[in-house]
Chain A
């Protein structure tokens, strides 16, 4: 504690020094936050009244230099709120003294670093323990502790929930980089998707996607429905063909199926090239017969791998790109493996749904290839190196150094594939507690989440069954999602055909993993009800 005591005044003094030296005459607080990605995301997340309040706090902090920053920070209902306040102060200071010192860029992140680092301790949601660090491997082994509320994954949430989670992920990502002293440029472009028709209280930010290739690539593909077109329009074309609806285009899944069944033991799979002629023939076959062309199921594995890689490279936007290209480029600037992994996790969350699911399907396949590395001789590094140009944009793979840096990201993604599509528990918590977050200065002292201790008696909850009927059921202690599914769908049905969802509160819909403790879930989301639906 003595260390803390000496440190704290120091940090406060340093921020004061800056103000003294930089002639702070606090200007009006009309900072254009629309240009700042962190605030943009944060403001979109909060309700108007809340953000106005936060800026009000920021203003007070700016005008009263004796204000105890640490005290205010500790009173913030969530780290997210503090981030917004801090960002706001920094922005105002930057505007006030842009020519402060020789290198304002270098000094301002440092100012941010300290308080934000504290907050991250709380916000660090992937509570991962570094189990062992093998000297032979550069990658650490991580494991996830059990979560009674169930680990959440990207595919478990409704699109509406994902939109909100992406906003949070965006803030968290910016914070992670800020902490390391980096502010990668966010490539904001005009959104491709129109805003939702009925904007709900927290308007979802629509991040547009920068087209990676010139529109001419569209004309180059000669009107193909399957190559050189976006994943979204492929799904559209499949709908027209009345193929069953999926999250991943059929062409991708049928190629993956082929490789899963016959490519895993093939030496040098994805490294050895396929036959150019055979791939061309497969392509023309797909153009005429659609994405489930029977030829795919008989294709040579190297041809199938070559076609899959070619398909990915032909996408108008590579799977891992979009407005966050600069974040991918700077990922290795994050100092620890843990942080880089969090970065990858957040970047995956920020992908549009179809790209996110397609990337997962591809990476899962690469994981299976890796599991057979004794047969196919493909090591993690080998696999990542040959796949990188097909997953990341050319601007991140066109030189040797960039290629290696990008391959390191793909390596992380393949190696930690069971973490990368996870939605960090803190983000889920933020999503759940959105509305009860913040009600004004007088209530700042109240804890954000009043975690209710489960009553000793049984609690009841409303459950909607697949046939639409609704009933109140009791939730005994220790009842898991698996238990409930087996009790309700056990007779005559296979419980594995059904999913249990958490709905209500601020969660539109979240699929629950089998080991979720329902009582504990109810404690953090008292407004929730349950829903059983066919998988």
Chain B
């Protein structure tokens, strides 16, 4: 029954990006299949869909899992153009992956040609407390800097392994998108439509 309902709902295109080996696929698979996969195969590109109720409203999520390595960039711009909301993942145990978060967010703004866009930053692998090298405050600071002009940006700590905040991070991203569509986003879109006409 839920399937027939979900078909009538327009899917939301979510793109998961982030540096290599930070756990993008693990998060995506934990959310869509409720499993933690131990294999360590890098993704080139993968997609999943999942329907769920968020705040009593049906949502159909088309999630695109992407490659973290910069050498796969030839496909990057294309999927970025299609994405309606972005999940930017880094690992709290990997300083370099965190350093890339800011430039990835900048890239979203550039490709989308927007100053504000629904972006969720996920600090993953927080189950590995002993290896942690990125403090919560550090990540929060970064997101706060973006929030000054992008109110649709937020930070959540996750663990794909223990399933901590996995649903929350996707659900909150959908909430951000709804907010964006209801307010600034729709205005922006209308603006561009008008200018086209």
CB pair B21–A272 under 8 Å, yes or no, is: yes
With both beta carbons as reference points, the residue of chain B lying nearest to A268 in the complex is identified as: B21
CB pair A273–B72 under 8 Å, yes or no, is: no
Q: Within A235-286, which residues are at the interface with B (CB < 8 Å)? A: 267-268, 271-277
Chain A residues whose CB sits within 8 angstroms of the CB of B20 once the complex forms: 268, 271-273, 386
CB pair A309–B40 under 8 Å, yes or no, is: no
With both beta carbons as reference points, the residue of chain A lying nearest to B70 in the complex is identified as: A273
Query: 0/1 per residue, A384-403, Cβ < 8 Å to B?
Result: 01100110001001111001
Q: If A268-B20, A271-B42, A385-B41 touch, does A302 touch B96 (CB 8 Å cutoff)? A: yes
Does A170 lie at the interface of the complex (its beta carbon under 8 Å from any beta carbon of B)? no
CB pair B71–A313 under 8 Å, yes or no, is: yes
- Residues of A in contact with B, size category: 20 to 34
CB pair B44–A403 under 8 Å, yes or no, is: yes
Chain A residues whose CB sits within 8 angstroms of the CB of B19 once the complex forms: 272-273
Does A379 lie at the interface of the complex (its beta carbon under 8 Å from any beta carbon of B)? yes
CB pair B72–A389 under 8 Å, yes or no, is: yes
| Docked CA distance A377–B20 (Å) | 13
With both beta carbons as reference points, the residue of chain B lying nearest to A381 in the complex is identified as: B41
| Docked CA distance A379–B41 (Å) | 7
Residue in B39, B69, B75, B103 whose Cβ sees the most chain A Cβ within 10 Å: B69
Chain A residues whose CB sits within 8 angstroms of the CB of B141 once the complex forms: none
| Docked CA distance A378–B69 (Å) | 14
CB pair B71–A275 under 8 Å, yes or no, is: no
Does B115 lie at the interface of the complex (its beta carbon under 8 Å from any beta carbon of A)? no
CB pair B44–A400 under 8 Å, yes or no, is: yes
Q: If A273-B19, A382-B42 touch, does A398 touch B69 (CB 8 Å cutoff)? A: no
Does B97 lie at the interface of the complex (its beta carbon under 8 Å from any beta carbon of A)? yes
Query: 0/1 per residue, B65-78, Cβ < 8 Å to A?
Result: 00011111011000
| Docked CA distance A272–B90 (Å) | 11
CB pair A382–B40 under 8 Å, yes or no, is: yes
Does A404 lie at the interface of the complex (its beta carbon under 8 Å from any beta carbon of B)? yes
CB pair A398–B74 under 8 Å, yes or no, is: yes
CB pair B40–A378 under 8 Å, yes or no, is: yes
**CB-based closest 7 A-B pairs:** A389-B71, A268-B21, A272-B21, A377-B40, A275-B96, A398-B74, A271-B20
Seed contacts A271-B20, A379-B40, A386-B71; 9 additional CB < 8 Å A-B pairs: A271-B21, A272-B96, A276-B100, A276-B103, A302-B96, A382-B42, A385-B42, A386-B42, A407-B44
Q: Which residues on A are within 8 Å of B, measured CB to CB?
A: 267-268, 271-277, 302, 309, 313, 377-379, 381-382, 385-386, 389-390, 394, 397-400, 403-404, 407
